[in-house]
Amino acid sequence: MMKTDKEYKELSIKEFNKAAEKYESGNAGIYEMCKEDYPPILEEIKKTDFKTLLDAGCGTAPMISLLHEEYDDKEYTGIDLSPKMIEQAKKKNLPNTSFVVGDCENLPFKENSFDIVINSQSFHHYPNPQDFFNSVYKVLKPGGKLILRDNTANKIFVFLVNHIEMPLANLIGHGDVRIYSTEDIERFCKNANLKIEKIEKRPKFRLHLVAKKE
């Protein structure tokens, strides 16, 4: 049975509140795989001039921590639905950085606020994916970019994951909603007026997207 938007989000909050203290440890379990998405995001960021960056679904801020090592003069914002994740992120006391508990489907920031929005292994938790893309468009500056990493595969595999694996994951306390084909992502971008610069299926069932607000 499909859950309501509220039920999915409550599952995600419970899941990541529980995972917050171990998320960046060597004992992170299934979340260890998330670390594989950080280098490709950094690679894209290095190609882009920026001053302000939003990490949407920032968790305990591992990506922002890495970015501080490369770019310590930029302004960073992190947002996550899990209060415990944000609590752990704030403990890092990173300069030029603010953290907000909030919903990535309705980003609580002014229009034209960020040069870059990144989103890593968070998107498949969103019940309303188009709302996320629309919200990203709102907060990006003209010329700004969305860099998104998540999971994808061919349509048959996507169907099996969404109809078998995801419901089982929900039963054991995970807030996963669904994964998407590249065609789905193209549609979300088009509807949000984001121009795709790069969309790729990469090894280990990874989706890699770079889209621009013109």
Beta bridge partners of 140: 114
What values do phi and psi take at 178, rounded to 5? -170, 160
Beta bridge partners of 210: 147, 198
CB contact set of 205 (below 8 Å; sequence gap of 6+): 151, 152, 153, 157
pLDDT in tens, 180-202: 999 999 999 999 999 999 999 99
Q: Taking Cα atoms as reference points, which of 30, 95, 27 lies closest to residue 61?
A: 95
Q: Any idea which of 120-129, 156-165, 188-197 has the lowest mean pLDDT? A: 156-165
Q: Taking Cα atoms as reference points, which of 57, 128, 64, 115 lies closest to residue 94?
A: 64
Structure tokens belonging to residue 93: 């006391």
pLDDT at 1 over 90: no
% of the chain exceeding 90 in pLDDT: 92
DSSP single-letter state for residue 65: H
Q: Is 162 exposed, middle or buried (0-12, 13-18, 19+ CB in 10 A)?
A: middle
pLDDT in tens, 66-89: 999 999 999 999 999 999 999 999
Pairing of strands 75-80, 52-56: parallel
Using an 8 Å Cβ cutoff, are 51 and 77 in contact?
no
pTM of this structure: 0.97
Using an 8 Å Cβ cutoff, are 192 and 137 in contact?
yes
Please state, in angstroms and rounded to a whole number, the distance separating the CA atoms of residues 131 and 186: 14
